[in-house]
């Protein structure tokens, strides 16, 4: 068995090697030629899995150590008997902490109403965290029959997957029409997926905003970056606990699929990042000073 693993997924090194030939690759090294003779992939959002990558290969299993799957052509995988698993909820706590840090940095001096779009693993946990901190919380999640009017809130934060079809597509959910209905001056936070927010509409709206996930990553819009109150390089969910959860969930799914013995992660010690007060502003300053290094900054981000 041959397994390809993104080298930036921590804790997995040396584990699967007991049962398979394993290559640890840069995201850009997942090419059709390399994938062709492989049975399984463990990836992040930086690897697009579609026909161009997978056609003619013997891949039968893909684990993405992330919440979302919008970088994977699920229809192609389904019709070609490729099992796909993700890691929902793995980094929910870290994303909630990111949003709360963002709000603290803005330093509101009055009671705050927080509108949460998406009440899944992250949104549900964030709602509790915010209420524990005396926020007034409004939740909107039509698939879960939660239809609170978030447009009247001081802050609106998005925590949905990126979908293009179905009854409730989320692509450009935050568009010009949505923004025109929002309370004047409402702060928009996107720590979900880049395409959930229409960045051109956001710029035109005049609303202040904080961005962690971007359209066209890693080629981010410089005007969006410059006008953001705070910005980061898609690291809202980057914590040691979140990464460890995702790695173990990916490993568990791999073992189940290939009927391997249960495997535990390596006891790898990672350097702890800067999580002292003001950490998000420091990250933002770093990105704004070197926007062309978005991907490198993300790869080398020390987990908080």
Q: Are residues 151 and 290 in the same domain?
A: yes
Which residue in 121, 172, 234, 304 is the catalytic one? Answer: 234
The model's confidence at residue 107, banded by pLDDT at 50, 70 and 90, is confident
- Confidence at residue 269, expressed as pLDDT on a 0 to 100 scale: 61
The tokens of 300 are what? Answer: 């080398």
- Confidence at residue 42, expressed as pLDDT on a 0 to 100 scale: 98
Q: Is position 265 within any domain?
A: no
Distances (CA, A) of 286 to 95, 266, 279, 280, 294: 20, 31, 11, 10, 10
The tokens of 110 are what? Answer: 């009055």
Nearest-angstrom CA–CA distance, 166 and 152:
27
Domain of residue 124: give its range.
Answer: 93-237+276-299
Which residue in 46, 121, 159, 193 is the catalytic one? Answer: 193
Q: Is position 111 within any domain?
A: yes
Q: Are residues 203 and 164 in the same domain?
A: yes
Residue 108 reports pLDDT greater than 90? no
Torsion of CA 194, 195, 199, 201, to 10 degrees: -150
193 catalytic? Reply is yes
80 catalytic? Reply is no
Nearest to 229 by CA among 287, 183, 290: 287
234 catalytic? Reply is yes
Which residue in 217, 227, 257, 281 is the catalytic one? Answer: 217
The CATH number given to whatever domain includes residue 48 is 3.40.50.720
The DSSP call for residue 188 is E
The SS3 call for residue 198 is coil
Q: Are residues 226 and 83 in the same domain?
A: no
- Confidence at residue 38, expressed as pLDDT on a 0 to 100 scale: 98
* Type and span of the H or E element at 61: strand 61-64
Mean pLDDT, residues 147-158: 97
The model's confidence at residue 270, banded by pLDDT at 50, 70 and 90, is low
Residue 15 reports pLDDT greater than 80? yes
Q: Are residues 134 and 230 in the same domain?
A: yes
Q: Is position 268 within any domain?
A: no
User: H helices within the chain, ranges in order?
Assistant: 32-35, 51-54, 74-79, 92-106, 121-132, 176-181, 199-205, 222-227, 240-257, 279-289, 294-299
Q: Are residues 130 and 81 in the same domain?
A: no
Q: Are residues 55 and 184 in the same domain?
A: no
The string of pLDDT tens digits covering residues 58-105 is: 999 999 999 889 999 999 999 999 999 999 999 999 999 999 999 999
What's the total number of domains in the chain? 2
Q: What's the pTM?
A: 0.86
């Amino acid at each position: 068995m041959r397994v390809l693993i993104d080298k930036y997924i921590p804790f997995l090194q040396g584990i699967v090697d007991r049962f398979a030939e394993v290559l640890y690759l840069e995201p850009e090294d997942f090419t059709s030629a390399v994938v062709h003779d492989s049975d399984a992939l463990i990836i992040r959002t930086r690897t697009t899995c579609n026909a161009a990558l997978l056609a003619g290969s013997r891949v039968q299993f893909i684990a993405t150590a992330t919440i979302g799957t919008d970088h994977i052509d699920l229809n192609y995988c389904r019709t070609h008997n490729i099992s796909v698993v993700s890691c929902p909820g793995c980094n929910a706590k870290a994303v909630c902490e990111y949003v709360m840090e963002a709000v603290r940095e803005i330093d509101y001096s009055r009671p705050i109403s927080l509108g949460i779009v998406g009440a899944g693993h992250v949104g549900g946990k964030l709602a509790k965290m915010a209420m524990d901190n005396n926020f007034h919380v409004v939740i909107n999640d039509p698939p879960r029959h939660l239809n609170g009017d978030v447009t009247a809130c001081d802050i609106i934060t998005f925590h949905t997957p990126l979908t293009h079809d179905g009854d409730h597509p989320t692509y450009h959910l935050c568009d010009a029409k949505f923004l025109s209905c929002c309370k004047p001056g409402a702060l928009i936070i996107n720590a979900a997926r880049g395409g959930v927010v229409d960045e051109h509409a956001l710029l035109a709206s005049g609303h202040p905003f904080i961005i962690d996930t971007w359209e066209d990553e890693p080629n981010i819009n410089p005007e969006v970056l410059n006008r953001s109150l705070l910005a980061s390089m898609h690291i809202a969910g980057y914590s040691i606990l979140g990464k460890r959860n995702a790695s173990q969930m990916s490993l568990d799914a791999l073992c189940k699929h290939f009927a391997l013995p249960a495997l535990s992660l390596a006891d790898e010690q990672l350097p702890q990042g800067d999580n002292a007060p003001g950490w998000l502003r420091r990250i933002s300053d770093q990105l704004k000073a070197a926007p062309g290094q978005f991907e490198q900054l993300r790869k080398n981000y020390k987990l908080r």
